Amino acid sequence: MSQFLANHMKTMKPYTPGHQPKKGEYIKLNTNENPFPPPPEVSEIMSESAKSLHLYSDTNCKLLTDTFAEHYQISPESVIFANGSDEILAFCYMAFCDSDKGMCFPSISYGFYPVYADLFNIDGKKIPLNPDLTISPDHYFNQDHHIVIANPNAPTGIALTLSQIEEILVHNPKNVVIIDEAYVHFGGESAMKLTETYQNLIVCGTFSKSRNLAGGRLGYAVAHPSLLADLNLVKFSFNPYNVNTLTQALGVASIKNDRYFQHCTQSVVKTRRYFIDSFDKLGFHTLPSCANFIFTKHHDRDGAFLFEKLKEHKILVRHFDQEPINQYLRITIGTQEEMAVVVQKMTQILEENHA
Amino acid sequence: MSQFLANHMKTMKPYTPGHQPKKGEYIKLNTNENPFPPPPEVSEIMSESAKSLHLYSDTNCKLLTDTFAEHYQISPESVIFANGSDEILAFCYMAFCDSDKGMCFPSISYGFYPVYADLFNIDGKKIPLNPDLTISPDHYFNQDHHIVIANPNAPTGIALTLSQIEEILVHNPKNVVIIDEAYVHFGGESAMKLTETYQNLIVCGTFSKSRNLAGGRLGYAVAHPSLLADLNLVKFSFNPYNVNTLTQALGVASIKNDRYFQHCTQSVVKTRRYFIDSFDKLGFHTLPSCANFIFTKHHDRDGAFLFEKLKEHKILVRHFDQEPINQYLRITIGTQEEMAVVVQKMTQILEENHA
């Protein structure tokens, strides 16, 4: 820390990204990446796009916007893109929060929600989950804060229904409600269409998970044009060129190859079913997941212990040393082959370490 | 604007990016892009990098950091990368400014400096240029604000010397001094080495101009590790994955091909000399440029008029309708062939429109 750091930054605790080991060192199931590479045609598209990189990227992401809008049958005026959905979330905090009005979110959820509250020096209010780690919509009624909820939630994987989200929207006419759909394509229901009815709704999402592009950094928000205008005001006051030329082309390619997208997401869902069943048989209780990860705990073995044991076996998952989730492991769904290895190694760990 | 926009955002005036016409419609000399494409090997590198995009990018940009540090002979602990130097600048405002201490900058300079002051709701103090559009270092002595200066300045193209920058540093022990070197490789002197001596100096730069990568979005800051720690605190609290995998690989490729870099920057400098000489003969007065653009006015023809006439001839340059620079045109240096066309068209415009 230097002597120049602004006062409100001095207690700032940054976000901790998941550990990124050297390639091939681990079966890497700790950061909810897609086990499948992007569609093969992107290699040639990148090779071609590279030739015009001396020119600025399109600040309006026009081709990407039109392609996305057509695919999801929404208006091109109701979508904006950013450098990952993290940047979308940051833009929301910057546009709508101030010392008079902060942001509220589930007490157990994506780690960035409280970090942004600290960074932008606004009130971040944590709303506890139920004892079964579900979210109660009525806890969010008539808030004095804006609201951000991950749906499905992370790290639980549990999803709200669209009618539960509508209840929250109806009971918050004076607040912006942000539904973060990072994992929606693995079993949740998108609230995107509700943006046509509710002018206080922002649906955000990412190409990092279901669209195989974590390293490409592309996020989006869909909302009523009046909210979009606010987000664009922030974008054009912060970094108008936030989505580079290559990433725009990646986004277009991903949307166009819907067959590949469906193949990858369905493979993950199928493997998730196999994996939950196998872990059930080993004595695990797994929350009902609508995401590309599961959140699971063993009936009598310690979460931190199992995390370390898996790591010894070169399998990297995520463990949060925090009540009330410190007995759980968050395990990303990899390929069928990878998950079979996890089942085999876990069987071995449990046999070798009787309770 | 929605009903939800935060109060301090309601008067926000965003940055206006230069007009981006359809490809081939104009000779495009309005946004200071490099006329030469990136080095040819990046096509294959992009094609290869695309295959691992399902995995997250390296938040520490390790290979890029090591390559950059070795090339410029600085410590890897003293450089950070971001999504363009715009994001670096934003990080600086976020780290060091608050209601107690704002940022000061030249009254005529990069348009984003006052925009960030508004966005982050801090005081932005404009320090007038001299009547000849140069910067007086002593105007920046013992400020009660942090300081950001573009060197060479934009849109004038005029550079400060390193000893002038040192004077500013010595007279501001309590302030961070940011030297924005977006255009330094076209004739300025980099202050990068001064970061070893001055713990209040941040030197930032971009791969958009001299490194042919405007569409790739890569910026950097070099500073003492204590200041770097502050910028990293912001980065990891805002968007740890801000530099995507492809852009990191582009940066490495650009630094490695120094011969191409030298060829491109030297071509621009050579063409700039030709172009200034030619415009001199047509009755223009051009400020001494150390950048890949010139700032020029005609002795008796109106700036806005010439801007419009060039546009009719399908040549796009930049004109700022603002005192005291409204008689000037900012013209990016393109290829020798493009600039010869500009000279020919301007000759024609002046002949057809006698004063």
pLDDT in tens, A221-237: 999 999 999 999 999 99
Residues of A in contact with B90 (CB under 8 A): 238-239
- Residue A101 pLDDT: 97
Minimal CA separation from B176 to chain A, in Å: 7
Token pair belonging to A272: 């998730």
The dihedral of CA B263, B264, B267, B269: what is its sign?
negative
Residues of A in contact with B33 (CB under 8 A): 54-56
User: Between chains, do B215 and A6 touch, taking CB under 8 Å as contact?
Assistant: no
pLDDT score recorded for residue B351: 95
By Cβ distance, the residue of B2, B116, B217 closest to A241 is: B217
What ipTM was assigned to the predicted interfaces of this complex? Answer: 0.96
Kindly list the distances between the CA atom of residue A196 and the CA atoms of A74, A199, A223, in Å, as whole numbers in the listed order.
9, 7, 8
The answer on pLDDT for A355 being more than 80 is no
CB A201 within 8 A of CB A179: yes
Chain A residue numbers with beta carbons less than 8 Å from the beta carbon of B5 are 95-96, 230, 233
Report residue B261 CA to chain centroid gap. Answer: 17
Smallest Cα–Cα separation from B127: which of B118, B138, B117, B119? B138
The pLDDT of A36-59, averaged and rounded, is: 97
Structure tokens at A127: 């709303």
Residue A20 confidence (pLDDT) above 90:
no
Cα separation, B353 vs B94, whole angstroms: 50
Do B9 and A176 contact (CB within 8 A), yes or no?
A: no
**Residue at B40: amino acid letter:** P
CB contact under 8 A, B57 and A217: yes
Minimal-distance CA residue of chain A relative to B176: A4
Contacts of B7 in chain A (CB under 8 A): 98, 100
Chain A positions in Cβ-Cβ contact with residue B56 (cut-off 8 Å): 17-18, 20, 31, 33, 208, 214-215
Residue of A nearest to B50 (CA): A43
Kindly report the number of other CB atoms within 10 A of residue A70's CB atom. 11
Where b means 16+ CB within 10 Å and e means fewer, A306-318 reads bbebbbebebbbb
From first to last of its 355 residues, chain B has per-residue pLDDT tens of 999 999 999 999 999 888 888 878 899 999 999 999 999 999 999 999 999 999 999 999 999 999 999 999 999 999 999 999 999 999 999 999 999 999 999 999 999 999 999 999 999 999 999 999 999 999 999 999 999 999 999 999 999 999 999 999 999 999 999 999 999 999 999 999 999 999 999 999 999 999 999 999 999 999 999 999 999 999 999 999 999 999 999 999 999 999 999 999 999 999 999 999 999 999 999 999 999 999 999 999 999 999 999 999 999 999 999 999 999 999 999 999 999 999 999 999 999 987 6
Report the pLDDT value the prediction gives residue B20, as an integer from 0 to 100: 83
Query: Hey, what amino acid is at B349?
Result: I
If one counts every other C-beta atom within 10 angstroms of the C-beta of residue A84, the result is: 31
User: A48: which chain B residues are within 8 Å (Cβ-Cβ)?
Assistant: 43
How many alpha carbons lie under 13 Å from residue A176 in its C-beta half-sphere?
31
Residue B295 pairs with which residues in a beta bridge?
A: B330
Distance from CA of B321 to the nearest CA of A (A): 20
Contact indicator for B323, B107 with CB cutoff of 8 Å? no
Please report which helix (H) or strand (E) contains residue B146, including its range: strand B146-150
Separation between Cα atoms, residue B242 and residue B217, nearest integer Å: 10
Strands (E), chain A: 27-28, 79-82, 103-106, 124-127, 146-150, 177-180, 201-206, 219-223, 284-286, 293-298, 315-316, 329-332
Handedness of CA A249, A254, A257, A258 (dihedral sign): negative
pLDDT at B354: 75
CA distance A301 to chain B (A): 31
Instruction: Provide the pLDDT for residue B355.
Output: 61
What is the C-alpha separation between A193 and B128, in angstroms, rounded? 51
Cβ atoms of residues A337 and A274 within 8 Å: no
Q: How far is CA A307 from the centre of its chain?
A: 22
Q: Which of A60, A244, A316 to mutate to test the interface with B (most CBs of B within 10 A)?
A: A244
Q: Under an 8 A CB cutoff, do A53 and B176 touch? A: no
Buried/exposed code over A274-300 (b: 16+ C-beta within 10 A; e: otherwise): ebbebbeebebebbebbbbbbbbbbee
What would the pLDDT profile of A151-206 be if each residue is shown by its tens digit? 999 999 999 999 999 999 999 999 999 999 999 999 999 999 999 999 999 999 99
CB contact under 8 A, A119 and B234: yes
Closest residue to B96, CB basis, from A6, A97, A98: A6
Q: What are phi and psi of B27, to 5 degrees?
A: -75, 115
Query: C-alpha dihedral over B309, B214, B321, B311, to 10 degrees?
Result: 10
Alpha-carbon distance of B196 to B178, in angstroms, equals: 14
Do β-strands A329-332 and A293-298 pair in parallel, antiparallel, or remain unpaired? antiparallel
Give me the pLDDT at residue B228, please. 97
Task: Output DSSP code: residue B222.
Answer: E
pLDDT value at residue A21: 84
